[in-house]
């Protein structure tokens, strides 16, 4: 696993709540280093990593459900519009439903700063060379974030259409954000990411007249890998489709 996704960065993982503090943590990322070992052993190591992660994810999920907190894992490639969608969601929903955010990036606090400016509480998780968040990082991030009971907590995962799909974080919803300029073939090129999604949000639909993107073809590609995923086309710029996104989120909120 370390040799495939690069998440054995010796610099470790850093959490930033409000101010940027680089304080190295012991790198306890659950990886056995499998250099110079047969491929079969590497597979065993990968299974061990994922099994440990799944156990931590279930603990996260149970703890959050006990407090009626809805955790959303927001995944996409870089530049799809995740942060912009979050800013608008915070502006439109936070008066009725507290929204907190765990921001995942390899470096900088740029996105967490944007989220705070939008009016939500945020903790930045910097992964160094790591290409995804895992359940342990999210558990530590949640301790720092300390969301209120009943909150909506959104994890903005590291921009990547591969590795984040492998790691359960303890979320209730797996959301893949896809933008029209990226091309309508992406579900076929990155099937595992789209196959694991509960919801696919198609952003930047206001650009459809200007880009080579066929919504019907994209929908067919998505259905080929995931017949059950909800598809929500929208434009943050124009507001079209945002109501459907908000309605879906509200439908996931536990009853009082």
Write the pLDDT tens digit of every residue in 208-224: 999 999 999 999 999 99
Per-residue model confidence (pLDDT) at position 42: 52
Per-residue model confidence (pLDDT) at position 147: 98
Q: Is residue 21 part of a domain?
A: no
Per-residue model confidence (pLDDT) at position 49: 74
Write the pLDDT tens digit of every residue in 186-199: 999 999 999 999 99
Q: Is residue 26 part of a domain?
A: no
pTM: 0.84
Domain that includes residue 139, residue range: 35-251
Per-residue model confidence (pLDDT) at position 22: 43
| Residue 244 Cα distances to 50, 72, 202, angstroms | 34, 16, 12
Percent of the chain at pLDDT exceeding 70: 84
Q: Is residue 228 part of a domain?
A: yes
Q: How many domains does the chain have?
A: 1
Q: Is residue 231 part of a domain?
A: yes
CA trace torsion 42, 43, 45, 46 (10° rounding): 120
Q: Is residue 245 part of a domain?
A: yes
Per-residue model confidence (pLDDT) at position 15: 76
Residue 35 has pLDDT above 60, yes or no: no
Write the pLDDT tens digit of every residue in 93-109: 999 999 999 999 999 99
Give the Cα separation of 14 and 21 in Å (integer). 8
Which strands form 121-126's sheet, in the order they lie side by side?
14-16, 121-126, 99-105, 152-156, 70-75, 173-179, 199-203, 230-233
Per DSSP, 198 falls in state S
Cβ neighbours of 107 (radius 10 Å)? 12
Per-residue model confidence (pLDDT) at position 37: 41
Q: Is residue 15 part of a domain?
A: no
Per-residue model confidence (pLDDT) at position 23: 43
**Extended strands (E) in the chain:** 14-16, 70-75, 99-105, 121-126, 152-156, 173-179, 199-203, 230-233
Per-residue model confidence (pLDDT) at position 92: 98
Per-residue model confidence (pLDDT) at position 29: 45
Partners of 201 in beta bridges? 177, 232
Q: Is residue 9 part of a domain?
A: no
Mean of pLDDT values over 126-144: 95
Mean of pLDDT values over 138-156: 98
Residue 130 has pLDDT above 60, yes or no: yes
Cβ-count burial of 39 within 10 angstroms (0-12 exposed, 13-18 middle, 19+ buried)? exposed
Per-residue model confidence (pLDDT) at position 8: 53
Q: Is residue 12 part of a domain?
A: no
CATH classification of the domain holding 188: 3.40.50.300
Partners of 203 in beta bridges? 179
Residue 57 has pLDDT above 90, yes or no: yes
């Amino acid at each position: 696993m370390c040799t495939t996704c690069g998440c054995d960065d010796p610099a470790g993982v850093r959490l930033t709540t409000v101010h940027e503090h680089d304080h190295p943590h012991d790198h306890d990322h659950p990886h056995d280093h499998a250099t110079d070992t047969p491929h079969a052993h590497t597979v065993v190591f990968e299974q061990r990593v994922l099994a440990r992660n799944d156990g931590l994810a279930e603990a996260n999920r149970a703890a959050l459900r006990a407090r009626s907190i809805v955790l959303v894992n927001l995944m996409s490639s870089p530049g799809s519009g995740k942060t912009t969608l979050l800013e608008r969601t915070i502006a439109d929903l936070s008066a009725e439903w507290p929204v907190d955010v765990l921001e995942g990036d390899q470096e900088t606090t740029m996105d967490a700063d944007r989220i705070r400016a939008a009016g939500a509480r945020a903790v930045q998780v910097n992964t160094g060379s790591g290409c995804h968040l895992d359940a342990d990082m999210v558990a530590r991030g949640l301790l720092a974030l300390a969301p209120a009971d009943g909150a909506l907590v959104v994890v903005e995962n590291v921009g990547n259409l591969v590795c984040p799909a492998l790691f359960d974080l303890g979320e209730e919803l797996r959301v893949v954000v896809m933008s029209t300029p990226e091309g309508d073939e992406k579900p076929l090129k990155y099937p595992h990411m789209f196959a694991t999604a509960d919801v696919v949000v198609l952003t930047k639909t206001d650009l459809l007249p200007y880009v080579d993107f066929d919504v019907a073809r994209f929908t067919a590609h998505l259905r080929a890998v995931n017949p059950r995923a909800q598809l929500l086309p929208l434009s943050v710029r124009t507001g079209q489709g945002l109501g459907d996104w908000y309605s879906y989120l509200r439908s996931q909120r536990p009853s009082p």
